[in-house]
Structure 1
């Protein structure tokens, strides 16, 4: 490739899978230098986030080894392991290629890692314990991960009601935020709000410098502004209805908030095109007739403007929006204890550093 200018080589390398990219570093000094440059890392990550994936954590809490798969619409399905953490962990949050994992045997121990580069960071323990009486000591009610690709920084959020050992919650909602730049936790306390007790902890979406959770009652979206450490609310589309067989899910689509509602016969997709004015637009209405038997247990997990990944109890499906074609990407052989939709997270394959 000596006949190509550096910019062309950079564009080619930026489209390789992470493992293949790391192999190219050993080819020659030029490729090593180009692929290690800050401009290249930024380009690689920007291209990677356009290809959303789905990560399924198949780890068994009773086993010593962790097992996960990545479902990629472009490259298919491949396995990877979190064994480099040297701990039994559970994936709690995912954002822009990084994972936040909690230790299973050691409550209150958290890691942030990039499973593609096998790089990780053990977070310092916080003295505060944001918990409820429904969760064991050391386990936060909500866990969120925010990775900013432009600033190369990340935040981990642990939130929940505080209680002393042997007592009920005292009504104080504590939010702890870890800052990767200062390597410290900061805390702020909020006034009790009934919405906090109903937040869907499995759907944390990082958009516009804030983390978003859908309330379990689907009455609104709770927003945590990481710049000002305040909570606020965003309204859902007026047409969204919850109950009577309808399920509502909060996702991210090409940098925008997205809401997907699934009923017995239809999947409707809204995207917030204007974040400041909170304006939602219905971008698609999909008939579920051809997968009718799977509809009761299907949940969207990851999406872009081109396709949507959905998980059932045993399968991972992808729906191509333009062609309106459904495809099975993965089917579990040995049925896990929990359904796949409970174990699945949206994922991107980046070279975002957690150190």
Structure 2
């Protein structure tokens, strides 16, 4: 499924909708949090949300069961923690259903109050079992665009982000608190009109590249040997006018969900048919892909 936060400029409010290939479109309410929030990450049916009025306040919730947990505040002062605006560059949620636990990761460049950023990369990790934050510091020279840091995938006990230049995947191993770089498929072509996205496919890392006329998908079949296999190659000629703005959000072996400025599309891999699932009827202030997250519902308890 797909969760999209719809902002309405005329009413200064937002709503959360769920788009399901089988059940259609429904509205999801997070009013049980009693706060104005923004969804920051999604993993295995749980959402990580940040408070809009109160910086540094984070929740993890299950919208299906309406269970939620307010995370304890970390000891780091927000103004000295992250550069440039006190907000973490990377926010990730890792939910292990087999162990019935979750982790929240906040990572970003360090800046001491009154000083320029010094190049160190702070990582704060919340562990639901201990109900505490832990911290480690490393050096990262990778940059992240807004959309690269918005797409985060949890597989093999690690959280993964695509770097801003789309040159590699950056993986954070949550068992040993280390960063690792994973190479992209050799066939990924860099250049004008080519865009690369990071998704999950049946428990594996997957990369989708969109060009003017093609959508190509790879899956990382061997995680440790970094062996990529081609999944499919889809012509985009029938949606040519939408190609510059489409953004793949989630996928299965059967279909791919994509968002554009105003619509949510689904592509059925077997029938090779495209279908519009949702279209904004009001004056949405942001493109839909700006606040869209892959979602898989669960009734697992927090």
Q: What range describes the TM-score normalised by the shorter chain of this pair?
A: over 0.9
- Are 1:342 and 2:290 counterparts? yes
Partner of 2:213: 265
Taking only aligned residues, the RMSD between alpha carbons, in angstroms, comes to 1.7
Shift of 1:353: 2.1
1:36-75 paired onto structure 2 within 5 Å: 53-59=1-7, 66-75=14-23
Q: CA 1:289/1:316 → structure 2, altered by over 3 Å: closer, same or farther?
A: same
Shift of 1:241: 1.7
Higher strand share: 2
Take 2:18 and 2:197, find their aligned partners in 1: how far apart are those partners?
21
Structure 1 counterpart of 2:174, from 209, 226, 237: 226
Partner of 2:44: 96
SS of 1:351 mapped into structure 2:
coil
SS of 2:189 mapped into structure 1:
coil
Partner of 1:159: 107
Shift of 1:62: 10
Structure 2 counterpart of 1:189, from 134, 137, 150: 137
Report if the CA contact (8 A) 1:92-1:143 is conserved.
yes
Partner of 2:198: 250
Shift of 1:143: 0.2
Shift of 1:178: 0.2
Partner of 1:131: 82
Shift of 1:335: 2.9
SS of 1:195 mapped into structure 2:
coil
Query: Which TM-score applies when normalising by structure 1?
Result: 0.81
Per-residue CA shift, 1:118-173, capped at 9, x if unaligned? 1110000002244112x2x2x21110000011111100000001112333212221
Which has the larger displacement, 238-247 or 255-264?
A: 238-247
Structure 2 counterpart of 1:205, from 153, 156, 159: 153
Structure 1 counterpart of 2:96, from 139, 148, 169: 148
Structure 2, unmatched stretches of 5+, are none
